[in-house]
């Protein structure tokens, strides 16, 4: 990129069931917190991006970036407001587009946000909307909703690589443990593997507690040119890389369903841009919409060999005091997963870690990776963030 970019402000709502709050309220709360954190006034904002998967289906509202810009008082200032969407990687895209906007020289101060209001529909309608992240014609009409597709992936991973039911459970157990100190998490209670395995099947082998919940919430970050970062923050966080990969939308078109090629492609480019190796990464916020997703992420990001993601977790390498702490925030399982908000929330949590301000803090964290996946892996965004400016 032609210009380096830094994160100078972060904010989010708590994630959960916000019956009393509207879509626009959630955004404004997160946005104001990010602006306050950066010490930026509304009149300094040059552009904003909003990640959102499916307000059209959840609240029958499109044009949502304009909506939230309006409600935040930015629209009448003429601030360009752009919604981006790639299912539950929408937040990752919003962050990446904000970075590209600053890198292009078109804008200096840009807000990247993500927001989703999922709880206004009943369960069946919510699940049907969620299925829009998969290929409606070729997967969903045949019965392949997102949970069923991830169950196929999990089953194949168990079959080919010996991953066990207990290893899946331990992902959820670890993430709940990490979330106990996260004031924004939907669940801050600890759970046991036995509890996970006593919950009903959603789609065998995946049980209810393998799945991230339906959530309402929003997150926002402020990005600026790296050379101006010190004007806004004592602890700027530098965007060493932001890459986006893709793969076939349908699971059945993939060569190997136990690998998310979209993650691998984005990660390879991101590590190259940032000039780091997986072993240099101090922590990762990854996309565990289903527990098996975290095992895939651990492998596809290079923290463990293919097939060893499960034992990596069970052996504690992904715990806060482990070799490469994974989801010290609690991940999607415990933080909650308001689809379009998650990719931005990951950047918020990575920034807190690199500043040394996280609830469950990783010691001496200097390099963080975030990985955000759309649906079953048609899209993935991988960012490398650092507390030091390398380039």
- Applying the rule CB under 8 A, the residues between 234 and 263 that interact with a copy of itself are 243-250, 253, 261-262
Site string for a copy of itself, 364-383 (x = CB under 8 A): ----------xx--xx----
Terminal C-alpha separation, the chain: 11
- Both tokens of 115, joined, read 């927001």
DSSP classification of residue 3: S
Contact string (CB under 8 A) for a copy of itself, positions 308-347, x = contact:
----------------------------------------
The tokens for 226 are 């790296």
75 binds a copy of itself (CB under 8 A): yes
Task: Please report whether residue 28 would count as binding a copy of itself according to CB under 8 A.
Answer: no
Q: Which residues of 290-306 are buried (b: 16+ CB within 10 A; e: fewer)?
A: bbbbbbbbbbbbbbbeb
Tokens standing for residue 114: 């993500």
20 binds a copy of itself (CB under 8 A): no
Q: How far apart are CA 331 and CA 69, in angstroms?
A: 28
Helix, coil or strand: residue 51:
strand
Residue 72 or 320 with smaller CB distance to a copy of itself: 72
Give whichever of 83 and 207 is closer to a copy of itself, judged by the CB atom: 83
Q: Which of 4, 135, 167, 300 binds a copy of itself (CB under 8 A)?
A: 135
Q: CB of 276: closest distance to a copy of itself in angstroms? A: 18
- Cβ-based nearer residue to a copy of itself, 61 or 180: 61
| Residue 3 touching a copy of itself (CB under 8 A) | yes
Least gap, CB of 108 to a copy of itself (angstroms): 12
Closest CB to a copy of itself among residues 57, 180: 57
d(CA 69, CA 101): 17
> Considering the complex, what minimum distance in angstroms separates the CB of residue 68 from a copy of itself?
9
DSSP assignment of 337-389 equals --HHHHHHHHHHHHHHHHHT--SSPPTT--EEEEEEEETTTTEEEEEEEESS-
Q: Which is nearer to a copy of itself, 64 or 179 (CB)?
A: 64
Q: Counting every residue, how long is the chain? A: 391
Residue 148 binds a copy of itself (CB under 8 A) = no
Residue given tokens 């098996």 in the structure block: 292
136 binding a copy of itself? (CB under 8 A): yes
Minimum CB separation of residue 342 from a copy of itself in Å reads 14
CB neighbour list of residue 217: distance below 8 Å, 6 or more residues apart:
12, 13, 14, 15, 16, 18, 26, 30, 115, 116, 336, 338, 341, 345
Check residue 57 for interaction with a copy of itself (CB under 8 A). yes
User: Residue 103: helix, strand or coil by DSSP?
Assistant: helix
Binding a copy of itself (rule: CB under 8 A), the pick from 25, 37, 101, 387 is 101
Contact set for a copy of itself, span 32-51 (CB under 8 A): 47
Longest Cα–Cα distance in the chain: 57
Which helix (H) or strand (E) segment is 239 a member of? strand 237-246
Binding positions for a copy of itself, rule: CB under 8 A: 1-3, 22, 47, 53-54, 56-57, 59-67, 69-70, 74-76, 78-87, 93, 97, 100-101, 103-106, 128-129, 131-137, 243-250, 253, 261-262, 265-266, 374-375, 378-379
């Amino acid at each position: 990129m032609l210009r380096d970019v830094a994160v100078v402000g972060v904010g989010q709502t708590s994630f959960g069931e916000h019956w009393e709050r509207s879509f626009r309220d959630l955004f404004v709360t997160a946005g104001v917190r990010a602006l306050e954190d950066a010490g930026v006034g509304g009149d300094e904002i040059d552009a904003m991006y909003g990640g959102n998967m499916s307000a059209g289906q959840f609240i029958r509202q499109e044009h949502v970036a304009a909506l939230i810009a309006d409600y935040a008082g930015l629209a009448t200032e003429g601030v360009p407001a752009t919604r981006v969407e790639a299912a539950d990687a929408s937040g990752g895209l919003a962050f990446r587009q904000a970075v590209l906007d600053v890198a292009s020289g078109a804008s200096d101060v840009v807000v990247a946000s993500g927001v989703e209001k999922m709880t206004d529909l009943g369960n069946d309608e919510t699940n049907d909307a969620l299925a829009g992240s998969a290929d409606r014609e070729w997967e969903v009409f045949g019965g392949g909703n997102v949970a069923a597709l991830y169950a196929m992936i999990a089953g194949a991973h168990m079959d080919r690589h010996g991953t066990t039911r207990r290893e899946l459970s331990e992902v959820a157990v670890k993430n709940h443990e990490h979330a106990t100190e996260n004031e924004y998490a939907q669940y801050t209670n600890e759970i046991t593997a036995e509890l996970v395995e006593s919950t009903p099947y959603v789609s065998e082998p995946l049980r209810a507690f393998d799945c991230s919940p339906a959530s309402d919430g929003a997150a926002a970050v402020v990005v600026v040119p790296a050379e101006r970062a010190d004007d806004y923050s004592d602890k700027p966080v530098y965007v060493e890389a932001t890459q986006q990969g893709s793969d076939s939308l349908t699971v059945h078109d993939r060569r190997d369903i136990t690998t998310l090629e979209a993650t691998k492609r984005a990660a390879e480019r991101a590590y190259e841009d940032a000039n780091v190796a997986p072993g240099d990464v101090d922590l990762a916020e990854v996309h565990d919409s289903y527990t098996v997703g975290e095992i895939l992420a651990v492998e596809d990001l290079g923290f463990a060999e293919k097939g060893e993601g499960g034992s990596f977790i069970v052996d504690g390498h992904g715990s806060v005091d482990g070799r490469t702490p994974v989801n010290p925030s609690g991940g999607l399982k415990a933080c909650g997963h308001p689809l379009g908000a998650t990719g931005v929330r990951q950047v918020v949590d990575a920034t807190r870690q690199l500043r040394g301000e996280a609830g469950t803090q990783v010691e001496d964290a200097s390099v963080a990776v975030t990985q955000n996946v759309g649906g079953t892996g048609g899209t993935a965004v991988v960012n490398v963030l650092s507390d030091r400016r390398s380039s």
